[in-house]
Amino acid sequence: MFNTSIIDRIENRPTSIEREIFPKMAEEGQIYQMVLPGYWMDIGQPHDYLSGQTLYLKSQREGNPSVLASGENYTGNNIVHESAHVDP
pTM here is 0.56
In a shared domain, residues 22 and 59:
no
Q: What pLDDT does 81 receive?
A: 93
Q: What are the pLDDT digits (tens) for 21-59?
A: 999 999 999 988 888 887 788 888 889 999 999 999 999
Among 49, 88, 65, residue whose Cα is nearest residue 79:
65
Q: How far is the C-alpha of 44 from the C-alpha of 84, rounded, in Å?
A: 29
- Residue 86 structural domain: 43-88
The average confidence (pLDDT) of the chain is 90
18: left (phi over 0), alpha (psi -120 to 50) or beta: alpha
Number of domains in the chain: 2
Q: What pLDDT does 42 receive?
A: 84
3-class SS of residue 45: coil
Q: How far is the C-alpha of 50 from the C-alpha of 40, rounded, in Å?
A: 14
88 pLDDT above the threshold of 90: no
In a shared domain, residues 49 and 15:
no
